[in-house]
Amino acid sequence: MPRVVVAMIVAVLGLGTAAACGSESPPPNSPSGSASVDATATGVALGGAGCDLLTLEAVSAFMGQTAHIDNGSATECVWLTQTDGVYQLHLQIYSERTYYAPEQWGTPEPILALGQEAFLVREGVVGTVAGYWDGEHAVFLNYAKLVGPGEPSDKADALVLLLRAVSERL
């Protein structure tokens, strides 16, 4: 992978963490395609890692090309596609309310019936972001274009559907 692409990926990951957390550190445990996502295509191993909250098939369908897991832990997952450009889907889950700050992602709009204070930022500092606070978890799902055609905001509604699937399985 060219150094420029690697540098861009590192920069976006850093921005995503900074936007979600401000200056605080996270807890140590802590294009094209269809506008709809089949929630039944998502799967979960209850109590599993962040990457188990969505299947590769569901993520690939959302992104419109084959995705792979780039990085994952118990509280986050990063999926990438590199077929027609480089796109990233990043799931972050925090157990503290202090990490919930929708305005740090951009201008939030409310999402109905998805946790407390659920929001969608169609065009933010690191792409399109949806998130919520459920009284126990601050959850963020970010879709970013690193290189390639299309805008992440084109998939904002489908991103909300993926976040709903995560919420049902968390």
Q: Quick check: 80 pLDDT over 70?
A: yes
Domain ranges of the chain: 3-169
pLDDT at 17 over 80: no
pLDDT level of residue 117 (50, 70, 90 thresholds): confident
Question: Using H for helix, E for strand and C for coil, what is the string for the chain?
Answer: CCHHHHHHHHHHHHHHHHHHHCCCCCCCCCCCCCCCCCHHHCCCCCCCCHHHHCCHHHHHHHHCCCEEEEEECCCEEEEEECCCCEEEEEEEEECCHHHCCHHHCCCCEECCCCCEEEEEEEEECCEEEEEEECCCCEEEEEEEEEECCCCHHHHHHHHHHHHHHHHHHC
Q: Could you tell me which of 128, 129, 158, 126 has the C-alpha nearest to residue 118?
A: 129
Q: What is the mean pLDDT of residues 148-166?
A: 93
Which one has a higher pLDDT value, 105 or 65?
65
pTM of the predicted protein model: 0.71
Q: Name 161's Cβ contacts closer than 8 Å, sequence gap at least 6.
A: 36, 37, 39
Per-residue model confidence (pLDDT) at position 6: 35
When pLDDT is averaged across residues 27-35 and rounded to a whole number, the result is 30
Per-residue confidence band for 159, with pLDDT thresholds at 50, 70 and 90: very high
